[in-house]
Structure 1
Amino acid sequence: KALGGTVNDTLMCTATGALQRHFAARREAVPECGLRVAVPFNLRPLNQPIERLGNQFGLVLVNLPVEVQDPFMCFRQVQENMNRLKRSYQAQVTYSLLDLFGRGPDALERRALGLLSNKASAVLTNVPGPKEPLYLAGGKVTQPMFWVPQSGSIGIGMSIFSYAGTVQLGITVDKNVHADPDEIMAYFQESFEALSHVALAGRQGAVERKAS
């Protein structure tokens, strides 16, 4: 609320900051044009009852501005990128193409997935879960977890899941990729704290200006 964005904007920006810190710690060159990730985009209306099993989502390609170090400017860039995608038909197009290729020969489907995966460096998904705790056989579910399915030859998957007032991050990394999942998870926490400080400072400044 303080930054004028959504929870999704915040978590996407936090993930961007985590990757940015990982680049810096490993002394690797940060891509000047950002880092492109494949993001599953839900196409099923949230108010529509689920009458049959199966997913209805397309893949969209999102640029994470890892080259932007200022948390506030990074947040604004992520927000702009996400708003642009929400107004586009990229998710519907990829969903239709995947559905079409899935009905054809396996070789055609693998070729299509290869073309999509070659355009992204990682898969990143943010799934809003239940806002209230769930119970199974009388026991409270305290920490559900999932890992995003990998697409084609992409070797990094980042899964963000919100549940009962908490946010969980899961990471899968191919053994041939030089990235440390534990480091990225620690950087995710640091990135969120940095963005939180910016938001709180901005809100405090607005209160002081209003009081004066």
Structure 2
Amino acid sequence: MKQLSGLDSAFLDLEDDHQFLHVSQLLILERPDDADIEPYPAWRRQLADRIHQLEPLRRRLVQVPFGLDHPYWIADPDFDLDFHVRHSAVPPPGTDDQLDELVARLVAAPMDRAHPLWVSHVIEGLAPAEEGGADRFAILTMIHHSTIDGAAGADLLALMLDDVPDAEPPSHAGEWTSEAPPSTAGVLARAAANGVRRPARGLLLAARAGQSMARASRNPAVIDLADRVRGSLRGTLGSVLNAGRERDPDQDLPRLPPLVTPPTPFNAPVSRYRRFAHRALPLAEVKAVGKEAGATINDVVVALCGGGLRRWLLERGELPEQPLTAMIPVSLREGDEDEPWTNRVSATVAALPTDVDDPIARLRAAHDALRVAKQVFAAMPGQLTPDAAGLGVPATVTAVSRALTRWGSVAPAPFNTVVSNVPGPREPLYLGSATMTHYIPVSAIADPVGLNITVQSYVDQLDIGLLACAELVPDLHDLADAVVADFDALRDAVRGGG
């Protein structure tokens, strides 16, 4: 039995009847003409053989009475693979736009919390990518954000599929042990013990955060106060509370330039209906454009999102004079975590260069904005987010989370959109003899930010997934086309020396 972290629990608390927090993956696979593979039974068998390696797929929630503590995961004694693996299809002619429409409908639904929080749809009926090309099918797997973050989702996918075609089942295929649900008295006893430890941890974390924020503000009086508070936690008490932790070195911290969040069509309360669109760019060309301009892939991604939004908003006559802002998730994973299947993610905010017309100047602006955002994130207590999320009394945190969700429907947006770039597998993956050709991210939206753009690298391409509220952005495919068009313009400008 494992307890959810405070951040994991927050993703449960933030859900309501119109916003659902899944981390989803849309996989496109091609099967050779001579392959004897039926997608649905092949995928079900694949998961059954590897379920002992896929802990997040086996565990379900156990709630603590009265919300006195964060829930727990147990290995579900009633696990039923057939509940989770489902069969779908797109009608003829099986276009990618039809696939996007189906995906939008499937992700616009909550998870059943009486079962492990995931569902996987095998989608058939897709037309070949080109005339005379290989037969295609898709797999959409939705996993709740309380279970994994985007980086952990990529790791999970590598365990679901194989790195060679027609691989043999792993050893101990399908062997795993379930857990009996704990007693009410048992979880209440744990809640009482956690309640004793929580205030002390909160005091220490508040001092660390206050000290960092004060330095960032360059306010000597506040810096001195924070240093005094943290200094008082040294000695015996500090040693106990800081057991296993390194002292943070003192440092001068950069400051984020003032950012505003101008109004856009997608910054409003979201409905429960979704639009989804996906596109792909050649990874080698994206890298080449960045290298020629002295920029990273992240710089190029942010520049393209800014340029695509600029084009789309201009066509609608709704481009603000100020640059849009984007929340950019930041993975805190270092590769040696004791618990890989949890959320280790924070975020920073950067300006999107929607106010810059020239593609190369826009890329430079994106580079500068990300550089400052990274410096601020490294210095500010954003890296404390997973710990801080678990400090409050869970019932109170739940109430605050839900209040913030309702407030988000009327308050100004803290940022305009979410832009995320997640590194994916560098080598191709397989289901039997079928080759995975695309790894398309499908993220989530919530009030009052009705647009999410997530990019996932896979082998030799960047797959782009855009998710939006269907009522706020009914023409999402136009925005997806605008992002691709902006890459074409940037590539031409770089090659032309503009």
TM-score of Structure 1 vs Structure 2, range by shorter chain: 0.7 to 0.9
Secondary structure of the structure 1 residue equivalent to 2:464: strand
Residue among 299, 303, 309 paired with 1:19: 309
For 2:357 and 2:295, the matched residues in 1 are separated by 19
Where structure 1 has 5 or more consecutive residues not aligned to the other structure, the ranges are 206-212
Is the 2:451–2:469 contact (alpha carbons within 8 Å) kept by the matching residues of 1? yes
Deviation track 1:79-138 (CA, whole Å, cap 9, x = no partner) reads: 001011111137963453464345532022345666798211211111111122112334
1:154 corresponding residue in structure 2: 449
In structure 2, give the amino acid aligned to 1:35: L
Structure 2 residue corresponding to 1:7, chosen from 287, 297, 305? 297
Task: Find the counterpart in structure 2 of residue 59 from structure 1.
Answer: 347
Corresponding position of 1:49: 336
Q: Distance in 1 between matches of 2:486 and 2:476?
A: 15
**1:164 paired to 2:454:** no
Q: Spell out the pairing of 1:101-116 with structure 2 (5 A cutoff).
A: 101-102=389-390, 103=392, 104=394, 105-111=397-403
Q: Is the aligned partner of 1:86 residue 2:374?
A: yes
The CA RMSD measured in Å over matched residues stands at 2.5
So what's the TM-score if we normalise by structure 2?
A: 0.37
Separation of aligned partners in 1, 2:313 and 2:460: 30
- Do the aligned partners of 2:441 and 2:463 also contact (CA within 8 Å) in 1? no
Report matched runs for 1:58-77 at 5 Å: 58-77=346-365
Partner of 1:195 in structure 2?
A: 490
Name the counterpart of 1:208.
Answer: none
CA contact under 8 A between 1:60 and 1:90: conserved in structure 2?
Answer: no
Amino acid at match of 1:169: I
Q: 1:117 to 1:40 in 2, by over 3 A?
A: farther
Whole-angstrom CA distance in 2 between matches of 1:145 and 1:92: 32
User: 1:11 and 1:89 mapped to 2: Cα distance?
Assistant: 19
The question of 1:40 aligning with 2:329 is answered yes
- The 1-side partners of 2:454 and 2:443 are apart by 6
Q: 1:32 to 1:90 in 2, by over 3 A?
A: farther
Percent of aligned pairs sharing the same letter:
25
Distance 1:117 1:91 in 2: 26
Does the residue aligned with 2:355 lie in a helix, a strand or coil? coil
Give the TM-score taking structure 1 as reference length.
0.83
Task: Give the Cα–Cα distance (whole angstroms) in 2 for the partners of residues 83 and 51 of structure 1.
Answer: 30
User: Hey, what does 1:185 align to over in structure 2?
Assistant: 480
Distance 2:300 2:481 in 1: 17
2:437 counterpart of 1:145 = no
Deviations 1:47-71 (A, max 9, x none): x235421121112111101010100
Q: How far is the alpha carbon of 1:178 from its aligned partner?
A: 3.9
Aligned residue-pair number: 200
Report the residue type matching 1:107 in the other structure: A
- Greater C-alpha radius of gyration: 2
Alpha-carbon distance in 1 for matches of 2:452, 2:293:
27
- Structure 2 counterpart of 1:85, which letter? A
Verify the 8 A CA contact 2:348 2:374 in the aligned structure 1.
no
Contact 1:17 1:66 in 2 (8 A): yes
Q: Distance in 1 between matches of 2:412 and 2:389?
A: 15
Unaligned runs of 5+ in 2: 1-290
Instruction: Kindly indicate whether the alpha-carbon contact (under 8 Å) linking 1:17 and 1:191 is maintained by their aligned counterparts in 2.
Output: yes
Question: Structure 1 residues 91 and 171 mapped into 2: Cα distance closer, same or farther (>3 Å)?
Answer: farther
Residues 134, 140 of structure 1: 8 Å contact kept: yes
